[in-house]
Amino acid sequence: MKYLLSTLLLIAFITDINSQKSSLNEKITKSATGGIESFREVYIDLHQNPELSLMEVKTAGKMAEQLKKLGFEVTAGVGGNGVVGIFRNGDGKVIMLRTDMDALPVKENTGLPYASNVVMKDAKGNENPVMHACGHDLHMTTWLGTLRTLTELKSYWKGTLIAVGQPAEEGTIGAQTMLDDNLFGRFPVPDLALAYHVSPELPSGTIGYYPGPIFAGVQTAEITVYGSGGHGATPHKTIDPVVLSAKMILDIQTIVSRKINPTKPAVVTVGSIHGGTRANIIPDEVKMLLTIRFFEMEVYKTIRESLINIARGAAISAGLPEEKMPLIVFDEPLDLPVSNDPQLVMEAVKSMKDILGETNVIQVDPAMVAEDFGKYGLTDEKIPIGLFWLGGVNTESYKEYEKKLKKLPPLHNSSFAPDFDPTFRTGVTAMSRTIIDLFGNKRLLK
């Protein structure tokens, strides 16, 4: 009899918990859907009025104004154009939700009725067409929608919510400028931090996750290859830096294939090569720009050492003296990988699957693109971070893509345009449920 009573009580308890979750899911879904028209207007305004990195003055002002309307304590001008909002809702965890705000120097070719026609000068005074070719307009709108849902449903959680609008993500410097402006000294230190990045490869209605390093570490290198120039008709009287550069480029392609463990992802790309002025002049030097991408520091060290050895080896074989050895400059600081906290990610995945369904939350492979969100997790505070892909591809377009009938424009492409309505609803729904659950999650206390 006692066993039967205990079983019945357990069943009743589980039934009550499931009922509460179902009720919460309904309220989150209703909030994410309600008012979508006004958020679509915000999105269109942001899309039509993009601003380049470190110039997001009007965009930051819009984010600050929206946060004030939601009841946040707002501080602008953090680390340049950064915006920080604080919403205090009793004792509990401190959770940070970040969005980025900057756009790219790309001329829009989406054909949308609200396409950007903005042209603005960059830091060097050069005029550039500008568009949100990386989805930061969607990031901001989904961020605002999530914050609105969380404030509407504040009776379901206790703690402090920190909303961070970050500048200059595209240059991977905005996070650092905010940290250098004492972000975690002036404001509460988060127990954990979350963010989205829209995906050009996942259909709207889905979330992509990876419980570990999800985005690569990145470094740019410049190699100056020296030679001894002369007339193109007498190459035997010169040491041709163009030929030396060509040899180096071919050898550089063997670094990943022959120096790196095949199970360790890495990329070394020569993206720019410049030398010479005329067809009949062999120049004195050639400059090359490279990007290095990696997930582990040992892999990075191997790539760096190999580049030095390849460059010097080619120069020595050509008979160049020591003072004419290639000059290699590695940009600093090094952008380290965005390394998701596995426990945090898997706890979030439980929440996302509960509200979106098992099949709509997908484990993906790490990507070689860069993001500076990882810097928030590399401070002395050792904050666990979770960055998730937010599927943004129109479902019909995705079906055509699966049938190989259509190509999908990648990030930074002039035709990139996420499907707003379903992507926004999914992002707000999944992140709202996740944050509410994380506020009450005792396993993730620091």
Does residue 251 share a domain with residue 120? no
The reply to whether 285 belongs to the active site is no
Question: Tokens 């893509």 map to which residue?
Answer: 401
Helix (H, G, I), strand (E, B) or coil at 88: strand
pLDDT in tens, 341-388: 999 999 999 999 999 999 999 999 999 999 999 999 999 999 999 999
The residue among 166, 178, 192 whose CA lies nearest residue 94 is: 192
**Amino acid 18: pLDDT:** 59
Shared domain check, 282 and 426: no
333: preceding bond cis by omega (within 30 degrees): yes
DSSP string, 66-86: HHHHTT-EEEEEETTTEEEEE
Overall domain count for the chain: 2
Q: Are residues 377 and 407 in the same domain?
A: yes
Catalytic (active site) residue 100: yes
What does pTM read for this prediction?
Answer: 0.91
Is residue 149 in a domain? Answer: yes
- Cα dihedral: 335, 364, 32, 178 (round 10): -10
Q: What is the pLDDT of residue 12?
A: 47
| Cα within 13 Å of Cα(391), Cβ side | 24
CA distance 29 to 13: 24
Q: Provide the CATH number for the domain around residue 246.
A: 3.30.70.360
Q: How far apart are CA 429 and CA 263, in angstroms?
A: 36
Residue 39 shares a structural domain with residue 131:
yes
Assess whether 239 and 302 both reside in one domain.
yes
CATH of the domain at 195: 3.40.630.10
Domain presence at residue 335: no
87-99 per-position pLDDT tens digit: 999 999 999 999 9
Alpha carbon 255 to chain centroid distance?
A: 26
Residue 327 is which amino acid?
L
- For the chain, the first-to-last Cα distance in angstroms comes to 43
- Which structural domain range is residue 362 located in? 7-215+340-444
Q: Do 274 and 376 fall into the same domain?
A: no
pLDDT per residue as tens, the chain (446 positions): 666 655 555 554 455 555 567 889 999 999 999 889 999 999 999 999 999 999 999 999 999 999 999 999 999 999 999 999 999 999 999 999 999 999 999 999 999 999 999 999 998 899 999 999 999 999 999 999 999 999 999 999 999 999 999 999 998 999 999 999 999 999 999 999 999 999 999 999 999 999 999 999 999 999 999 999 999 999 999 999 999 999 999 999 999 999 999 999 999 999 999 999 999 999 999 999 999 999 999 999 999 999 999 999 999 999 999 999 999 999 988 899 999 999 999 999 999 999 999 999 999 999 999 999 999 999 999 999 999 999 999 999 999 999 998 999 999 999 999 999 999 999 999 999 999 999 998 666 54
**281 shares its domain with 306:** yes
Containing H/E element for 297? helix 297-317
* Phi (first) and psi of residue 290, to 5 degrees: -125, 150
3-state helix, strand, coil in the chain (%, to 5): 40, 25, 30
The C-alpha atoms of residue 231 and residue 283 are separated, in whole angstroms, by 9
Element (H, E) at 208: strand 207-209
One-letter amino acid at 285 equals E
- Convert 153-168 to b/e letters by CB count within 10 Å (16 or more is b): bbebbebbbbbbbbbb
Cα of 343 vs its chain's centroid, Å: 20
1 in any annotated domain: no
Do residues 276 and 245 touch, judged by C-beta distance below 8 A? no
**How does pLDDT run across 217-250, given as a tens digit for each residue?**
999 999 999 999 999 999 999 999 999 999 999 9
307 shares a domain with 186: no
Q: Which residue has the tokens 């030095």?
A: 308
Contact 360, 340 (CB under 8 A): no
Residue type, 359: T
Give the pLDDT confidence score for residue 17 in this predicted structure.
54
Q: Which of 51, 56, 100, 341 is catalytic?
A: 100
Q: Residue 303 in contact with residue 292, Cβ under 8 Å? A: yes
Contacts of residue 239, Cβ cutoff 8 Å, sequence gap at least 6: 227, 228, 318, 319, 320
Residue at 421: amino acid letter: D
Which tokens sit at 26?
A: 């309904």
- pLDDT score recorded for residue 375: 96
Shared domain for 173 and 85, answered yes or no, is yes
* Token representation of residue 158: 């206790």
Q: Which residue has the tokens 């470190």?
A: 54
Catalytic residue chosen out of the listed positions 102, 108, 170, 419? 170
Whether 349 and 323 share a structural domain: no
Give yes or no for a contact between 194 and 386, defined as CB atoms under 8 angstroms apart.
yes
* Closest to 201 measured CA to CA, from 370, 401, 47: 401
